[in-house]
Amino acid sequence: MLTKKDYENAITVQDACNLSGVVNSFNEVLARIWEEARSRIWEEARSVGKGTTDVNQHPISKLYADKIADLARVRDFDSFSAAYEECKRRSK
C-alpha cells in the first residue's frame, strides 16, 4: 500500500543527483504502486480497462521517470535517438 512517505519521496527525489539511487528507490515504490493498482484494478476496475497504463501513468511514476530522464539528459528526441542508435550499434 502506498503511503504519504512514498509521495514525499517522489518529490524529494527531484533534487537527487545519483541515477542508481533514483532507480533503486523507484523500483521499491513501483512494486507497491503495482500491488495497489492490481488489487484495485483486477477486483474493482477491470471493466474500465485499467492495468499497466494505470501504473505507468501514476503520479509517482511520472515524477521518477522525469527525474531519470533529467539525470540521463534525455530531454529531446535527438538525444534519445543518438543513444538508441549507439545501443543498437554496440549490441551487434
pLDDT at 9: 93
pLDDT at 35: 78
Among residues 87, 88, 70, the alpha carbon closest in space to that of 23 is found at: 70
Do 18 and 57 meet the contact criterion of CB atoms below 8 Å apart? no
Task: Write out pLDDT tens, residues 20-43.
Answer: 999 999 999 888 887 776 665 445
- Given a cut of 90, whether residue 16 has pLDDT beyond it is yes
